[in-house]
Structure 1
Amino acid sequence: MSDEEKNERQSVYENEPEENEPEQTDFELDETGGANQIRDKIKKLKEKLIKCGGEKQEYLTGWQRAQADFINYRKRQEEQMGEWLKMAEVGLVTELLLVLDTLDAVKNNLHSMLNVQVEEVDSIRKQLMDILSKRGLEEIKAVGEKFSPEFHEAIEQVEAGEEEGVITEEAQKGYLLNGRVIRTSKVKVAK
């Protein structure tokens, strides 16, 4: 490398600002307008700083909103998963209700037979109801209650010594699962 190239490189490095040195301004001062140029430059820098501060706040607000939206989304997903799990139980419990219905029918017909067999059926039914009640199943009250279309399905209106609209007989039990009706009671209602 020639001396001329070395001098040229050295002069390039000498003109670069140090990392800790403040950046030089791009304007020259003259005696008359120097103060005005400085004021204009300061004004422009303040405007730029205010603009940057606004952008920073806008980005921060957007990020916070996105974070809150994500947290809310995650909560909704967890709640929905819980609902899906409860609804999955509905299918199982609905199928088991057929077993309960059969046991109830056998029990009602066995009253004319041996009492020992009735007690066995009662024991099996009680065990099954205990299992299902732990999963949130409960019977809908019917006989003697006021008819409610939310919980009862009228299959017949009968003349009875009861007040009008009172359930006199239950043909098929209704059930709630976790507070929701999964099957209405089929009932006879007083006219």
Structure 2
Amino acid sequence: MSDQNKTPHTEEQLNPEVVAEEVAFANEAEQVEAAVEVDPIEALRAENAALKDRTLRTMAEMENLRRRTEKEVKDAKVYAIAGFARDMLVVNDNLGRAIDALPDEATQNDENLKALVEGVELVEREMLNHLEKHGVKRLSPEGEKFNPHFHQAMFEVPNTEVPNNTVMNVVQAGYVIGERVLRPAMVGISKGGPKIVPVTDKNAGPGSTLDKEA
């Protein structure tokens, strides 16, 4: 057998359709590359869009930073005296205890002692007034629903006439400064009364409640 029969020509092995597709693909790639090279406007538009996006992101980050800084400065002003105010509350409590320790008869029969007590009461009121000017507020939760964020339950009072977990007594007043609790109010809460549960009636207004016997 001759060599001509053993090895066919390369051209005869190629598929004409495959060759045509490869040529078309190569031409298309060259056209795209040429279009990119000769069309700087599109390149500028793409660059401009990227710069615009980057600018908007930077502006948003700066705005968030400005807001955080403003809040931190505001909080620093409001809460700067928190430690001092907490210490002054202890002093105020001691003034109140000193007044409560004196029986009413003692002040009625002794004018000097009565004047002293009035002076201590004045100091107590003035101290609270000045603390209030700096954002410290007194909590008066008697009759309110117990709130663990602002109240500390010290004991329970059996009472079936008021809703369960109602503040019945205030052992020690609580105070807040801004949105923070300086000291929770120490309270006694009711037990055994009706529980407050959300209303399921679709005709009831928002926030309505129903009494449910415990």
With the length of structure 1 as denominator, give the TM-score of the two structures. 0.67
The answer to whether 1:52 aligns with 2:44 is: yes
Deviates more, 1:92-101 or 1:136-145: 136-145
**Counterpart for residue 133 of structure 2:** 134
2:78–2:134 contact (8 Å) kept in structure 1: no
- Label 1:122 to 1:162 Cα distance change in 2 as closer, same or farther (>3 A): farther
| 1:93 counterpart letter in structure 2 | A
Q: Where in structure 2 are the equivalents of 1:91-110 lying within 5 Å?
A: 91-110=83-102
1:147 Cα deviation from its structure 2 partner: 2.6
The answer to whether 1:154 aligns with 2:146 is: no
1:111–1:118 contact (8 Å) kept in structure 2: no
Q: Tell me how far apart the structure 2 counterparts of residues 139 and 107 of structure 1 sit (CA, whole Å).
A: 19
Count of equivalent residues: 150
- Label 1:62 to 1:146 Cα distance change in 2 as closer, same or farther (>3 A): closer
List per-residue Cα deviations over 1:151-176 (Å, max 9, x = no partner): 21111123468634333332211011
Q: Tell me how far apart the structure 2 counterparts of residues 45 and 148 of structure 1 sit (CA, whole Å).
A: 70
Q: Tell me how far apart the structure 1 counterparts of residues 144 and 36 of structure 2 sit (CA, whole Å).
A: 81
- Label 1:136 to 1:56 Cα distance change in 2 as closer, same or farther (>3 A): same
- Label 1:59 to 1:109 Cα distance change in 2 as closer, same or farther (>3 A): same
1:44 Cα deviation from its structure 2 partner: 6.2
**Counterpart for residue 80 of structure 1:** 72
- Aligned to 1:69, the other structure's residue is in SS state helix
1:158–1:189 contact (8 Å) kept in structure 2: yes
The answer to whether 1:185 aligns with 2:185 is: yes
**Counterpart for residue 175 of structure 2:** 175
List per-residue Cα deviations over 1:3-35 (Å, max 9, x = no partner): xxxxxxxxxxxxxxxxxxxxxxxxxxxxxxxxx
**Counterpart for residue 121 of structure 1:** 120
Q: Tell me how far apart the structure 2 counterparts of residues 67 and 107 of structure 1 sit (CA, whole Å).
A: 59
1:183 Cα deviation from its structure 2 partner: 1.1
1:162–1:190 contact (8 Å) kept in structure 2: no
Q: Tell me how far apart the structure 2 counterparts of residues 84 and 66 of structure 1 sit (CA, whole Å).
A: 27
CA RMSD after TM alignment: 2.5
Identity, in percent, stands at 25
- Give the gaps of 5 or more residues in structure 1: 1-41
| 2:150 counterpart letter in structure 1 | F
Q: Tell me how far apart the structure 1 counterparts of residues 36 and 176 of structure 2 sit (CA, whole Å).
A: 71
2:79–2:178 contact (8 Å) kept in structure 1: no
Q: Tell me how far apart the structure 2 counterparts of residues 189 and 43 of structure 1 sit (CA, whole Å).
A: 81
- Aligned to 1:142, the other structure's residue is in SS state coil
**Counterpart for residue 63 of structure 1:** 55
1:152–1:186 contact (8 Å) kept in structure 2: yes
- Give the gaps of 5 or more residues in structure 2: 1-33, 108-113, 192-214
| 1:62 counterpart letter in structure 2 | R
Q: Tell me how far apart the structure 2 counterparts of residues 161 and 144 of structure 1 sit (CA, whole Å).
A: 14
With the length of structure 2 as denominator, give the TM-score of the two structures. 0.61
Q: Tell me how far apart the structure 1 counterparts of residues 165 and 157 of structure 2 sit (CA, whole Å).
A: 10
**Counterpart for residue 39 of structure 1:** none
